[in-house]
A and B are shown apart, each in its own frame.
Chain A
Amino acid sequence: MADATRETLQNRNGHPDNGRPETSHHTRTDPKRDEKGYYGVPPIKAAHWTWQIPLYFWIGGIAAGVQLFTTLANVLGHEDEALTRVGRYTSLVAMILSPILLIWDLGRPERFYNMMRVWKLRSPMSNQSWSLVMYGNLSGLLAVRQAAEDGLLGRNFLSRLLIQLIPAKVLSILALPVALFVGSNTGTLLSATSVPMWARNWAFMAPTFLASGVSTALSYLSLVLHLGRWGEEKTHTVLRRAERATILVEAALIAASLIRMGRWGKPLFSKEIAPLFVGGTLIGGIAAPLALLSGKETRNKSILTSVLVLLGGLAFRFAMVHGGRQSANDPEAYFSFASGENAPQPEDKV
């Protein structure tokens, strides 16, 4: 690494400590000697994102997980009409809410369509816009077919034509990678910034968001099917098994993220965020559901588990976004991160 600055600075005037000699007025123990930065003014600026963005992360994650589960069920030959129906309508609603939330958050909402001027693969925000357009259209088509099947469009020629014309299986297989991209990109969106806590965790950010998206989606499906008393017995069993497994994957990824973040992950345990992250996500969204899932299954218990996982996932997203704000506002965190091997550098390839 080209580290000429550091060398120049360390060697200057022959003093190892940046050329600052000890004086009677400023002894080596004077804490001000090592204070870095400029009156504590944050050297980078935090994102302005308010509640809309973490809420979108949550909804986008659920959409991704729902698509994953319903497509797999379809491909693996597990036909459950109620499941398919819930899945398709959910994706549509999620794909209506997501753009609303995102456009709401813009400084100039009336110019949202400028997102469609270009497509930049290196900009997660651009990728997000385009993947939402694609997934939105696919889920719209699937929902139209579902509506036709359900007779919501009337039992007429048009409905039959739509059922004929919309190839559900092909579309849902096509939609799967796009949906998974939407889910994981919510994490990439955070990690591709200069914010130490997010950038440090580039490798696990997207996987963790995706895993959390899948676990919340499975809980969501199980919650809705339970509440409506819909779905086959097998669907519930599979959901339960899958839930347990994905929560474990999610827990492992959160642990890996925390290890990777190291000292830059401190904001997650700060006074303001710890209740959300430790209480909401780690205990409420992971530990408690795992305990509940291992016992005997009852309907009420399943509903409680699902609600806990869903809230835990929401708390996780708020904690991550707000933690990033704290991280960006902490000069020490940024300077220590951007001073050496910690930050990604051009020479380290993935």
Chain B
Amino acid sequence: MSGTTPTTPRIALVLAGCMMLVLAGCRAPGKPGPAEPRPDRVMEFAKLYKQNCAACHGEEGKRGLAVSLSNPVYIAIAGKEAVLNATAKGGPGKLMPAFAKSYGGTLTDAQIEVLADGIVRHWGQPQLLAGKNPPSYAATLAGDAAAGNAAYTAYCTRCHAEEAIDKTHIAGPITDANYLALISDQGLRTAILSGRPEEGMPDWRGIAPRPLTDRQVTDIVAWLASLRKTPASPNTASSKEKSHE
């Protein structure tokens, strides 16, 4: 036993010395990295997007549940103003909350600007639709539901009927009143105009043999809107106060 007495502390000393050398020399694993900024000081597009939008619009703006924000056709039609507006005040339907602090969200105006600007600059293609004369982003005409029904049956049912004809692009029915209660007219219009490229829905140019006209798009939306239980409310049905139980 007594043999260990003098050597053990010496070993400890040597170990401690080595440690100090290592500390001074290389990068210690415990050394803290740069401090996290406050949430309202984050100004990087990728970080802001991941934190606030990725859940519904998909990582990198792709394959999300809602509008594909990385779809350049969507960006070209909607423009930065509409993107900024939706981000700040909430989407056209009630499914997307407002993000600006002034509308009850958590992001500052500067952060909203970073997001809108980032979406347009990262994912947009400036001259994509130059000369293609797409229908306007927002509807300007009054819709005709009967004409819309005809156009829908002609162009949409091949993918959207319960027994779809185009088996490669089975998309499921969108005439279900429950579904229509959860999407706004603008949401429908956006879907028709910009399509869902990742899932196989073409944009307004590829749905019919000829590109759909503004009138046709407006009519189809009008017809779909007429299938809602509460055609008066343009948005989601949560305004309807129905009590369960």
Are both chains from one complex? Answer: no
Residue ranges of A at the interface with B (Cβ–Cβ < 8 Å): none
B interface residues, Cβ below 8 angstroms from A: none
